[in-house]
Amino acid sequence: MKKIVIAGDHGALELKDTLVAFLKKKYFSVNDLGTFGSSSVDYPDMAKVACDEFNKGGYKFGILLCGTGIGISIAANKIKGIRCALVHNLFTAEMAKAHNNANFIAFGGRVRYDVPVTEMIEKFISTSYEAGRHEARIAKINALENNCS
């Protein structure tokens, strides 16, 4: 069974719970790292917990959530080995995988999307990484990660 890690802050609790149920129905093993209540938590902390868990290995991808998805995706992208895409429609879900081979996708619990988040996740899951010309670009992203001071 494919494993997915998910985490979010208090601004996306309802969305997280909906996505966990959806993913389990799709035959994924979901490691839900919280948050589990409405008490305020900081999205950088949730990003770190989820990304550190992902980097241990064994996960197909991860999902991060906060009020807008912006802050948690920024935080995640500071962590070595993480390429987190803030997805907002079917096209960005597809390109996150096809061109960027993202290993995390992010959404906002307070954002009104034109397409259900579950459909965007399905698009991401069903898309294959194209590799080819994108390999050099991914390598450049990795070089930035390794050489920034």
> What's the rounded mean pLDDT across residues 54-62?
98
Question: In residues, how long is the chain?
Answer: 149
49: number of CA atoms within 13 Å, CB side? 18
| Domains detected in the chain | 2-147 (3.40.1400.10)
d(CA 65, CA 15): 8
Token output for 142: 């990795």
Token output for 146: 């390794």
Q: Which one from 10, 88, 99, 134 is the annotated catalytic residue?
A: 99
SS3 label, residue 117 = helix
> What's the rounded mean pLDDT across residues 10-24?
97
d(CA 10, CA 3): 23
Q: Is 88 a catalytic residue?
A: no
d(CA 76, CA 44): 7
What CA dihedral angle connects 100, 112, 32 and 102, to 10 degrees? 0
Tell which wins on pLDDT, 38 or 115.
115
| pLDDT (tens digit per residue) in 81-117 | 999 999 999 999 999 999 999 999 999 999 999 999 9
Residue 29 pLDDT greater than 60, yes or no: yes
> What's the rounded mean pLDDT across residues 111-137?
95
Report how far Cα 55 is from the mean position of its chain's Cα atoms: 13
